[in-house]
Amino acid sequence: MRQLITKSLEIICQIAIVVILLGGLISGWRMGGFFGGIGGLVGAFIFSVVVFGTLFILLDIADYTRRTAEALERKTP
């Protein structure tokens, strides 16, 4: 069950990244034309990397902790 929740959260994050990038591109395009769209895309990319990068790092830490605990349980007699 825990894996299902973790994988679902990863999929939701990936969808949110795409939505944020498209939103940044469209809003920048409407405000400043081509160069505004590029600026909005760059800003949305930086925001996505900061927010979702942190979340992915936390998910990886949880995964490595779980695998380490499983390995230690198998190793102990």
pLDDT of residue 14: 93
Domain-by-domain residue ranges, the chain? 1-70
Q: Are 45 and 24 in contact (CB under 8 A)?
A: yes
pTM: 0.76
* Angle (CA) 72 76 77, round 5°: 155
Average of pLDDT values for 18-43?
93
C-alpha to C-alpha distance for 50 and 54, rounded to whole angstroms: 6
pLDDT of residue 59: 86
